[in-house]
Structure 1
Amino acid sequence: MFDAMAAIMAQVNPMIGAAVLVFMRIGAFVALLPGFGEQTIPMRLRLAAILAFTLISWPLVAPNLPTDLPPFPALAVLMLIELAIGALMGIAVRLLVMALQIAGAIAAQTTAVSQMAGVAVTPEPMPAIGNALVLAGLALALAAGLPAQAVRAIAESYTVFPAGVLPVAGDVAQWGVARVADAFALGLTLAAPFVIAAFGYNLALGFLNRAMPALMVAFVGAPAITAGALLLLMLAAPLILNVWHDRLSATLEAPWALPQ
């Protein structure tokens, strides 16, 4: 009986070690994934989501996992490498959420709504417009199949980054700079309707002030810019979210690729 148990354990131990490697990559990725890695979600639920993603992805990536695992010191190095790869993939997706936050901050500042509507009480303080865009974007992503896209990204990542192979530092640096620049560019692009509207509003307000110096244009224009910003948000939010979700889907298809 003991010989049979020893034979079973000899077969199970490599499987457990491979599952731990998968858990490390998925854990870092899901911890930064929109909707699953938010600070408002309790840690137990996030851990349950990571375990669920691991159980789903493990059979898909099992052929790409090493069969003979090294002893513990070398295994710890492999775990750190898997953690780093998962974190890089998660950062690529998390930067898109930051792009929504940047767009909301720019829109609120240019339309003066950030002072009037206040700052939303969230783990990451941001103007009310930014909070509305982020919540709407997360809801859209989850409703459009974000978990399935994440599982596919995890499965395909093992063909680009084999288990235990550390990415080249120079390539990672180039990728990181490109991703950060793309996030800021996307945020400004999404906020473009508010920037253009605010420019036209301030230009018209300046002409009005020159034509009627005695008129308190600030008191007249404040309600107009607030109402205009809310109306523009209602009209532009669907287009903004569609553009953002298309970029999110493209990123999940290849988080390791340079942005186009």
Structure 2
Amino acid sequence: MIADPEGTVLALFAAFCRIGACIMVLPGFSSFRVPVQIRLFIAVAVSMALLPVMWDSIYPRVQGGGSNYLLLVGVEMLIGVTMGLIARYIVLAMQFAGTGISMAIGFNAAPGGGLLEAEPEGHITAFISFTVLFVLFLSDFHHMVIAALVRSYSFMPVGADFDPRMALMTLTDTLAGAFMLALRLASPFLVYGLIFNLSIGMVNKLSPQIPVYFISIPFILFGGLILLYFGSQSFFTLFVNGFEPLYLGLP
């Protein structure tokens, strides 16, 4: 029998606010292809599973409810959204890398429907973003996120004030690190496109009568796809190796 049913419900809802807000923006779970009911059930299930682990950190601070509890709910949601946005920014950086690769190798076909989001995106961008998310789930990144949520109660305890400066610095550092990771992964394709277009430009200067555009597009596209084919394993391996330090803020 539960000694304090009201306090238990308040503690569960406080845990749900942080965990549910994180899952709401977490890559994969926040996709429009995942029904809202499934996201809700996942958030409730994770909250109920983690509540006994975090009971001593949550329950003493939510007893009694009152007006302070409403402020606590808002702070918990802001913390959860911040932690979910860290992972989302890293995946968005890979979509940016996919767009840059498409432009570098001349794959400028009309964008189609996105696999993860409702917005249209290029075929290479869709391939990279879907594979990145698939590899992340294979490497149990959601376990990493849950472990980070549990650890967050030690340095951002329930009832403490939300620090917008720390949140903005964390998101800014994540964006900077994710951009550098995307630039490193896309750099072979960018260098290839630069060298190829420079060479074609020199050929055009030597022989202006040759329609270099129609001649160069098949070659640059074929070479870029060959480079993607042989470099895809290293591409996604390096991404997985760089995801954990970026998400956990490791040096």
Q: TM-score, normalised by structure 2?
A: 0.91
- Give a deviation string over 1:188-244, Cα, whole Å, max 9, x none: 222111101101111111122223222111111111111112112212222221222
Distance in 2 between residues matched to 1:150 and 1:107, nearest whole Å = 29
Counterpart mapping for 1:67-146 below 5 A: 67=60, 68-113=62-107, 115-116=108-109, 118-122=110-114, 123-146=118-141
Distance in 2 between residues matched to 1:71 and 1:157, nearest whole Å = 22
Distance in 2 between residues matched to 1:127 and 1:63, nearest whole Å = 48
Runs (4 or more) in structure 1 with deviation over 6 Å come to none
8 Å contact from structure 1 (residues 66, 163) kept in 2: no
Distance in 1 between residues matched to 2:124 and 2:184, nearest whole Å = 15
Distance in 2 between residues matched to 1:36 and 1:212, nearest whole Å = 54
Query: How many residue pairs end up in the alignment?
Result: 247
- Give the alignment partner of residue 11 of structure 2, picking from 18, 41, 44: 18
Aligned-partner residue type, residue 128 of structure 1: H
Counterpart mapping for 1:1-40 below 5 A: 11-40=4-33
Q: Flag the 1:251–1:65 CA change in 2: closer, same or farther, 3 A.
A: farther
Cα shift at 1:149: 1.6
Residue 215 in 1 paired to residue 207 in 2?
Answer: no
8 Å contact from structure 1 (residues 106, 188) kept in 2: no
Residue 238 in 1 paired to residue 230 in 2?
Answer: no
In angstroms, what is the RMSD of aligned CA positions?
1.8
Q: Flag the 1:72–1:9 CA change in 2: closer, same or farther, 3 A.
A: farther
Cα shift at 1:245: 1.5
Distance in 2 between residues matched to 1:164 and 1:158, nearest whole Å = 10
Aligned-partner residue type, residue 74 of structure 2: L
Identity across aligned pairs (percent)? 24
Distance in 1 between residues matched to 2:173 and 2:148, nearest whole Å = 20
Distance in 2 between residues matched to 1:95 and 1:146, nearest whole Å = 14
Aligned-partner residue type, residue 98 of structure 2: G
Please name the residue that 1:44 is paired with: 37
Cα shift at 1:9: 6.7
Q: TM-score, normalised by structure 1?
A: 0.88
Aligned-partner residue type, residue 203 of structure 2: L
